[in-house]
Structure 1
């Protein structure tokens, strides 16, 4: 291990220790962003409402991930309720909602800032008042006069003004230093009704978990009919298509990712001028066994010593019989022939002919021809194949 590598390793360890100390001593920070996400457990997410909504709507609630325009372009439904909570509503979707309401459906739209098309269609103007840090949401109906919700964290201060006579006011925002401001209205459109609430915070985790606040939410939804309710959550449920969304949404993975990138930059920076020395190409050793055997075979053929080749072939055959078939090869008699025939399954005539040639090969004074060598070689290979 060279000195330069030790320095890099030491620097990397020091950086890791510092980052670990920062992570251990880091205080947990509450996310107060108003995300209105049905899967978020942060204060201003809708996780609690999403879990309890099926009981609130008597198991008649259905979440729709398409926009109203996409959904109604493909589906025809009988009279039902439409619910939209702090979601974007495009102009085409708004017209589809109006068509459904005109046929007899009810729509409830809860959002702090709604498109101008909605206010123009219903008949009101959005307004924003400099509310104090706390205010109270109350309903105007006498039967709900004891039910209210107190907003003590980041109220939007949104409300309605210049409301047309045909629009009914159902709820107000009450604050000590300002006059009451309408925040919940109802408008008759054709055979149905549209309800608009300008303060969606009352449905968030932070407020629903407080004692007594659920009653206000129940009162608000009591205005719509007891029928199927379609909750359009398209803008809240569509995930980002960015390929790093999962890593960047989890703090531990995000820190690990940035550490990895930092380490990669350091590595590239310190090794930019280093060059890899040329690695010599080492040719693998050649297997010359086959060439050696060919050379020996050619030598025997050139010499014409067929008798010696037959003797070596016979010796190799008998040795293989001893090792593989566990037979004694001292006496090549009839008893040996029968045992060899039983163990190899070859015809007895072929075995007799092979043994006859082996005996000739063992006779140093026997005269043999090239044809005898070829014949014996074939017979012995057939017997032990």
Structure 2
């Protein structure tokens, strides 16, 4: 296995472990969106009501995923109950519902907002009637006075601010600091009846699971006659046929799937690049002159032949004087000393001392010590500066 592949594998495993730890330690967040979806178990879904509705309507309930316009164009129905819960229907579908009601059907419409042309045709005007964080829904019938529901989570505060005389108020929103406002009305339309409730929130999972809340829902639907009821549910809840729907519907599997795809893309990207043979590093040739000089110096130092070293230093100095200063060095006399003094600018005392040490180094019988070599080396270097 190549080294680069091992590195990628380790990085991938580390990333997967980090994601797994984050998933394990992740705190579940509650979805408080008002979706009114019959398949949603979130607080404001209709999962509980969808399963309890059959018993509530005595198994005489049909859930229709078509729009009312398409449904009634395909099926010629007699009188029946029609139910709509927070479903954004088109104008033609509302007209079909009104046609059915005018022929004798009853409609239970539970929406926070109804199209203006529909509300005008049945005689009421809906608006925001409350901005309180909590309120109570009660029915006006004395028989149902003890049945109510308290809304303590995000009530819509919608109701009916203007009602024509022919409209009957069946329910109200009750608050501590405000007067009661209508939220459930009944109006005759042709041969049938339309019931409109402006707060469908009481049918959601969060409220139906509270003790006693189901009784208020039973009271509201008791106004409908005992006959077939069609419920027009949202049509976008069909199960996807995509082969990856199970993986993508689970957050943990979805994250793992995208990380796997990302890792494969990175692996292909880096391994698709042209691989080049490593160019060897060539070390430049070393300058060994300094090492040679050091070696020779160490050799003389170990032998202790200071006389020979003084002779070679003197020879090197005189050659330098002849080549650079153009002074004859055959006779190291007083004339030589004056010329060297004039051309170097050094004192006569320094030059005379240097000449004396040079003569001593050239004399094969002279007694030379280490200090003589050091002194001559210092003087000659100073003169040639």
Same fold, TM-score > 0.5, yes or no? yes
**For residues 242 and 199 of structure 1, do their structure 2 counterparts lie closer, same or farther at Cα, with a shift above 3 Å needed?**
farther
Q: Secondary structure at the match of 1:265?
A: helix
Task: Assess if the C-alpha contact under 8 Å between 2:141 and 2:170 holds in 1.
Answer: yes
Q: Which has the larger radius of gyration?
A: 2
Secondary structure of 1:161 counterpart: strand
Give the CA deviation at 1:132.
Answer: 2.2
How far residue 94 of structure 1 moved from its aligned partner, in angstroms, is 0.8
Pairing 1:106-125 to 2, within 5 Å after superposition: 106-125=106-125
Q: What does the per-residue CA deviation read over 1:258-305, in whole Å, with 9 as the maximum and x for residues that have no partner?
A: 2123213322442341479xxxxxxxxxxxxxxxxxxxxxxxxxxxxx
**Counterpart residue number, 1:383:** none
Task: Name 2:209's counterpart in structure 1.
Answer: 209
Aligned to 1:91: 91
Distance 1:198 1:145, change over 3 A: same
CA displacement at 1:247 relative to structure 2: 4.0
Q: Aligned partners of 1:114, 1:241: CA distance in 2, in Å?
A: 33
CA offset at residue 241 of structure 1? Answer: 8.2
Change (3 A) 1:159 1:78: same
Provide closer, same or farther for how the CA distance between residues 248 and 120 of structure 1 changes in structure 2, counting only shifts above 3 A: farther
Matched residue, 1:146: 146
SS at match of 1:162: strand
- Whole-Å Cα distance in 2 between the matches of residues 213 and 67 of structure 1? 30
**4+ aligned runs moved over 6 Å, structure 1:** 240-244
Pairing of 1:181-192 with structure 2 (within 5 A): 181-192=181-192
* CA deviation vs aligned residue, 1:232-255 (integer Å, no higher than 9, x gap): 114353457888665433212321
Q: Give the aligned CA root-mean-square deviation in angstroms.
A: 2.2
- Does residue 230 of structure 1 match 2:234? no
Partner of 2:342: none
Match for residue 40 of structure 1? Answer: 40
CA distance in 2, matches of 1:151, 1:209: 13
> Normalized against structure 1, the TM-score is what?
0.68
Whole-angstrom CA distance in 1 between matches of 2:22 and 2:235: 36
Cα gap change, 1:164 to 1:271, in 2 (>3 Å): farther
Bigger mean CA offset, 141-150 vs 262-271: 262-271
**C-alpha spacing 1:46/1:72, structure 2 compared with 1 (3 Å):** same
Q: What SS class does the counterpart of residue 202 from structure 2 fall into?
A: helix
| Change in CA separation of 1:247 and 1:114 when aligned onto 2, cut-off 3 Å | farther
The corresponding residue for 2:261 is 261
Alpha-carbon distance between aligned partners in 2 of 1:88 and 1:170, rounded to the nearest angstrom: 24
Map residues 158-197 of structure 1 onto 2, 5 A cutoff: 158-197=158-197
SS in 1 for 2:173: strand
Residue equivalent to 1:249 = 249
Aligned pair count reads 277
CA distance in 1, matches of 2:271, 2:108: 62
Task: Give runs of aligned pairs for residues 1-385 of structure 1, distance below 5 A.
Answer: 1-235=1-235, 237-238=237-238, 246-274=246-274
- Residues in 2 aligned to 1:175 and 1:240: alpha-carbon distance in whole angstroms: 44
